[in-house]
Amino acid sequence: MRAAARWPALLALGGLLAACAVQPPGGEAAATARPSLDAALARLPGHAAGFSRGMTTDMEASQPGQGRAVDYATPAHPGIAARAAIASVIIYDQGLPPLPAGTQGTTVTAKLDEGVQEALAPAPGRSLAESGRHVLPVAGGGPLQCAELQGTYGRTAMWQQICVGVAAGRFLKVFVAVPTRQKDLLGLDADSFSREIAQAVRGVSAAPAAPS
């Protein structure tokens, strides 16, 4: 009887140990490392690589998992109007558990593909095509995967870039758009902007400028 009585306790203990042994990535340990969406957004800078922060759009309230988008734009310059270049920073999780900082590969490229497909969707007066992809190393985690698009909006030649990666346990998408002519006049560096944004959301301090 005593031996039989031990079995339920042993089975329960075995189940507990098994559960502890197979904790998947994005489990309790990762959850403690993921800040709230409000906290992640609070890390975004007021200014980055020539862009200034604007309004925030909350998609999460009506579409859980879609996160929030923060607008950025360039200020006015001599001969160039304000908002010549615009950007959007989107932090979202699509209902997934916390993502490890080093997440990359197909998990990220699939989200980049989605972003490119959205940008290339037919629209009146818009004609765009993907012109190349590159990997953008960023401190504090895996790199961003980026795609460049070129084409026209009406008669205006346009250039766009979409970068996707992981920051603060969620997906991070950085979209930049600018007329081709203004891009050159502004000396726009979309990679620097995307890197600064990703590092900020990851809580990584920007490297100090090299002494001149």
Per-residue pLDDT tens digits for 42-90: 999 999 999 999 999 999 999 999 999 999 999 998 989 999 999 999 9
Tell whether the model's pLDDT for residue 209 goes beyond 60.
no
Q: Is the dihedral of CA 87, 149, 187, 143 positive or negative?
A: positive
Domains of the chain in sequence order: 34-202 (3.40.1000)
pLDDT for residue 206: 65
- Tell me, what DSSP letter sits at residue 98? P
Confidence band, pLDDT 50/70/90 cuts, at residue 207: low
Give the residue-averaged pLDDT of 146-167: 96
Confidence band, pLDDT 50/70/90 cuts, at residue 205: confident
| Mean pLDDT score of the chain | 85
Tell whether the model's pLDDT for residue 144 goes beyond 80.
yes
Per-residue pLDDT tens digits for 18-50: 333 333 344 444 444 799 999 999 999 999 999
Q: Which of 50-54, 66-70, 140-144, 183-187 has the lowest mean pLDDT?
A: 183-187
Give the residue-averaged pLDDT of 7-23: 36
Tell whether the model's pLDDT for residue 95 goes beyond 60.
yes
pLDDT for residue 82: 95
CB burial of 14-46 (b: ≥16 within 10 Å; e: otherwise) equals: eeeeeeeeeeeebeeebeeebbebeebbebbbe
- DSSP, collapsed to helix, strand or coil, labels residue 70 as strand
